[in-house]
Amino acid sequence: DFVQPQFQQATATLALKMLHNASTATEVGNWRTGTQRTIRLKADNGGAGAANRVIQIDLALRLLSWEFGDEDGQEIVSANWELVYNATGAKSLLITLTNGLSALT
């Protein structure tokens, strides 16, 4: 019975480790102002033409928390993000898959 369909906002979190540099300082500033960001995760096999395979995930996120640390002598920032709705892009999440093959056998 579909008389009263119900919808629920998708939820997700992302934990990233980043080197502490000027870009990280910008993200901490965005955290202070509550600015949301779009982060792209992309994996590409480097193939050309029919051998090309790509997965790209675009996420609208807001930084929840961060922590400074040290790993192998490098200053890092561990950041925790939550998925939010981006009204400008009209989405929270976009997943794009590319397969260079025109036909499967």
End-to-end CA distance of the chain: 40
The candidate with the shortest Cα–Cα distance to 101, out of 45, 63, 62, is 45
Q: Each residue of 34-70: pLDDT tens digit?
A: 889 999 999 998 887 778 889 999 999 998 988 999 9
pLDDT of residue 105: 59
Report whether pLDDT(2) > 70: no
Report whether pLDDT(5) > 90: no
Q: Each residue of 71-81: pLDDT tens digit?
A: 999 999 899 99
Structure token digits, residue 19: 């080197």
pLDDT of residue 31: 84
Cα distances (Å, whole numbers) of residue 104 to 49, 51, 55, 99, 100? 14, 12, 18, 10, 10
Contact indicator for 77, 20 with CB cutoff of 8 Å: yes
* Poorest-pLDDT segment among 29-33, 70-74, 86-90, 98-102: 98-102
Distance between CA atoms of residues 51 and 14, nearest Å: 30
pLDDT of residue 104: 65
